[in-house]
Amino acid sequence: MNIGVFDSGLGGLTVVKTMLNHLSGANIYYVADTKNAPYGEKTKEQILNFSISITDYLISNYHIDALVVACNTATSAAISELREKYPNLIIVGTEPGLRPAISHSHTKEVGVLATPATLNGEKYKTLRDELSSEFKAHIHEQACHGLVEQIELGELNSQKTMEMLHVWLNPMRDSGVDTIVLGCTHYPLISDSIRKIMGENIVLVETSEPISKRLVKLLKDQNIISNGVNNLKIFTTGKINDKMIEKIIGVNISTENIVL
């Protein structure tokens, strides 16, 4: 089976790492669109154009059976159009885990860390309003300007990164937030830094596991099954931090620069 995955940078590799534990015999082609990163502060039209270009590349060159949009921002901005444009392609998106976070929160004070584009998405706002009303929950949203860039640089717990996190998280901690939604696939990489501020008991909700299980189910439903060793190739449209790739995946994987 051939599976395409993309994100604006390294973050989607947190999803790929989990996918590798659920799949066998899969060729995974990952595109890190670092030339256009970060997506979080781009327009919907720009993100849609980036997403279509990447999808066309993966279909034309690798005949992918499925596409994983391993980016909350791109999912919010483009997934409906992608499904309409490629009706025969299995497409799995990434959305903030609001429902499990609110369901499991004891205080019903729930934090959401995300990009501006994700927080402004209509689907997200509708779900937020429905769930906060249903569960009588208070949602503390924070648009994390500049955080993706820090993570891409490998500055997971640098002084600058920790200062940014303190500004965003201290009010949540003071408000009794006990659960935080990591609304960007980059953010699991700073889980330890978040816990230093919020405490070890904070519950961090990310969605790589549900995404992987959903992908496996859809592949089986269409009888796209294979066995054997997984193979991962990583493509970039610009510069990328190779050391972070090894940190996330656990092995050193070379990258190939592509032009879309």
Query: Which runs of consecutive H residues, i.e. helices, occur in 67-206?
Result: 72-85, 98-104, 116-119, 122-134, 147-152, 159-174, 191-198
Catalytic hit among 10, 71, 164, 234: 71
Strand partners of residue 140 = 111
Say if residues 166 and 142 touch (Cβ distance below 8 Å).
Answer: no
Q: Is 184 a catalytic residue?
A: yes
Cα distance between residue 60 and residue 22, in whole Å: 26
Quote the Cα angle for 109-128-142, to 5°: 60
Cα distance between residue 92 and residue 70, in whole Å: 8
Catalytic hit among 117, 151, 165, 184: 184
Task: Give the alpha-carbon dihedral of 25, 235, 54, 4, to 10 degrees.
Answer: 10
Cα distance between residue 22 and residue 250, in whole Å: 16
Q: At what angle do helices 72-85 and 44-62 cross, to 10 degrees?
A: 60
- Interacting residues of 194 by C-beta distance below 8 A, sequence separation 6+: 165, 169, 180, 187, 202, 204
Residue 141, CA distances (Å) to 102, 114, 187 in order: 13, 8, 15
Question: Known catalytic residues?
Answer: 71, 184
